[in-house]
Amino acid sequence: MPMSYEQHLDEVATLLYERYDQSEEAAIKLVMAAQADDFFSGHDDDPSMCTLERAQADARAIFRKYRKA
């Protein structure tokens, strides 16, 4: 079941915090960096992308790409 765009971003941040041992602040910064880089632009255009499964994949991709930024 799709979530709202905002719920999706919250879920990605939560997953970064819980699964990737990031502080809450660091998790939010990673999501903000990805958002500034238009990582989520497709999600905003197509709300059906905002699922728990996609949030898990997004968290993994964001951690890999933005953790050193």
Q: What is the per-residue pLDDT across 6-52, written as a single tens digit (0 to 9) for each?
A: 999 999 999 999 999 999 999 999 999 999 999 999 988 898 999 99
Please state whether 37 falls in left (phi above 0), alpha (psi between -120 and 50) or beta. Answer: alpha
What is the residue-averaged pLDDT of the chain?
94
- Residue 68 DSSP class: T
Q: How confident is the model at residue 69 (pLDDT cuts 50, 70, 90)?
A: low
In this prediction the pTM is 0.93
First to last CA, the chain: 32
Spatial separation of the C-alpha atoms in residues 41 and 19, rounded to whole Å: 24
pLDDT (0 to 100) of residue 68: 82
